[in-house]
Structure 1
Amino acid sequence: MPRLKLSRIALIALTLLSGACSDPEPIRLGFIGGLSGANADLGLAARNGAQLAVEQHNAAAINHGRSVQLIIRDDELNPEQGKKALAELLEQRVDAVIGPMTSTVAMALAPMATEAGVLLMGGPVSTDLLNGRDDQFFRTIGSNDEHARVMATFLNQRHSIKRVSLIVDHRNKAYTDTWAGHFSTRLNALGGRIVHTTVFESSTALDYTQLARQALTEKPQAVLLITSALDAALLINQLRQQHESLIIATAEWAGSGKLVELGGNAVEDVIVAQYINMQDTSAAFTAFKQAFSTRYGEALSFPALTAYNATRVVLQGLTEQRDDETLKQTLLRLRRFDGLQGPIELDEFGDTHSPTFITRIHKGHYLREN
């Protein structure tokens, strides 16, 4: 055989061998959350939870499987910025997106992701306005109708509350209005009522003293805050100054580490709905809690847990996806996933149910009450 032909065969063989031994193309996973501004605690904790899930996946995939590249974008808690962030991720041909972290941004991104055929796995997004849709938006926590009813029942039956004043942040209206609506409906069914609703949009120019004064005009037995952690901490401080013994409660949005960090003594005994059971002693949750603390040097909070669960569900789907399936079809085929605090079971629309943990702040910790 001529020497030139042998050389050509050797070159082809070497090329094929090199291709066979090269690492498979990494999974490109997008992340969208609010990472800047005064209310960035939700997005930053969620980013950390997603990163930890990716790092653990990559560590397990050293000798087999595809590694994951996490591509992070900031939506600034703004729907228009969220659309820009998603457009950038779509240009990079991501396999799926974790996020966003607020319901109002999710409402803007769900149709865009559906049109592009890219799965959007929400973090702590619980508006029921996205329930029952045959789209590309999935999630790993239940919707507001479940959580708000639990809080209304708890306040009425445990504390005999019938007169409640609401303070509602409309910057995340898709979350806050639906939460308030379901809370009001359940409280009415129990013989109570909403005596006053104070509405605002979070900004640096807010007069928290005036907002607290408005909430107390009808002499409520309790004030419920459906706001971010920052606004809740500042409002609670003012409410305590004006009514020291008032019963104060919050929806899940406020229940991050930032509430106890900024609220100090003022938030003692505040009742907080949570997606996370911090008293869980299971091996899986304990290991995750320790790994998170070691990796980031901060206490675990609900955004990190929900984003970690969301990322693991997506990665399992991508790992088990068949050649003739979309990721959506894979997740709907699998349906049941192991969450850190119980199974995650998706319905035909990618929605699920999850427990509500009612907690009380005591010495800077969330203690479970129900």
Structure 2
Amino acid sequence: MTLDPMPGDLYHMQDLLDPAEQDVLGRVRAFMADEVAPIADDCWARAEFPFELVPKLGALGVAGLAYDECPGEPPSSMLTGFLALEMSRVDPSISTFFGVHAGLAMGSIAACGSPEQRRRWLPPMGRLEEVGAFALTEPTGGSDVALGLRTTARRDGDAWVLNGEKRWIGNGTFADVVVVWARDEADDTVRGFLVEKGTPGFAASRIENKIALRTVQNADLVFEDCRVPEANRLPGAEGFGDTAAILRRTRSGVAWQAVGVMLAAYGIARDYAKEREQFGRPIAKFQLVQDLLVKMLGNATASLGMVVRLAQLQDAGRYRDEHSALAKAYCTTRMREAVGWGRELMAGNGIVLDYGIGRFVADAEALYSYEGTREINTLIVGRAETGCGAFV
């Protein structure tokens, strides 16, 4: 498949993908255009998830590409990044659903699970026959969750008893399996558990009244003497460092998502500027309008260059915490600026769903905050560059 140029890809970065990777990206691009784009605004407005699209997304065969237990050639980090970008360019909510499932949940099982757990869960999750969630954040623990994790696990014979609460858990209302991180009461070690839907003592409720990523079904989770068999403990999770390793890999995906949002906002604003007339001519003919467009394009292009290099470092085995932290902090900050400039260019029409950009303006706020705030990611980079920790 020969891919059409991607709007806003001024330096032709998508050409870095080989023909087979471009074919995969092309299939996802067609799915997003044909299946997601026509319903994205309506789902967002109603805060409802399009469950009917899950089997179709699974049929694309992209959820399990990174895992040995699933069929297909392992993808490059570049392809994985472009998939996140492509989904976000149409709907950041669908991209977030996919990232939570294929990145955080499947990634935890692949990295920390036993061979039996990987064989049990990864193939059906790769086909999206079963959906995963990742439960780390708590009502009182976000940025400080490494030290402030309050959900507890207590060994009781051949099972573990979980007690505590989690918040902001994407896919949490309907996931078949939730990767739950809890602190072992016996030795204070952070451990991971696979809690299956319907387990007694486990309850999930949807978070209402969100103003961003409304299609994503974020949940509050409660565990009250929830018994999980020892067979569902992730044996490779032996401390928060194992949790952090998973977040390091997925944090780069948020930077790619931010680029997708910027490119979407840029394309919408550019097309609007060519069609919208004021003072007898298209507003694209005004210098100040072109200035806004070029600033948007500059932010997107600089950020795309950063994540492309990040993917190269990942594949070369030279990837460190500060690489993903800087990309997440920088790209989401530039995204926030870019969508604001696009909204500014479209004036009042920019705050309604009818003109396309309003949903991206709102969703950008969630991407800016999740997978580590700008401040926390800044401190990760600062520690790496100075050798001085400044977290507390």
Normalization by structure 1: what TM-score?
A: 0.26
Normalization by structure 2: what TM-score?
A: 0.25
Q: Which structure's residues are more often strand, by fraction?
A: 1
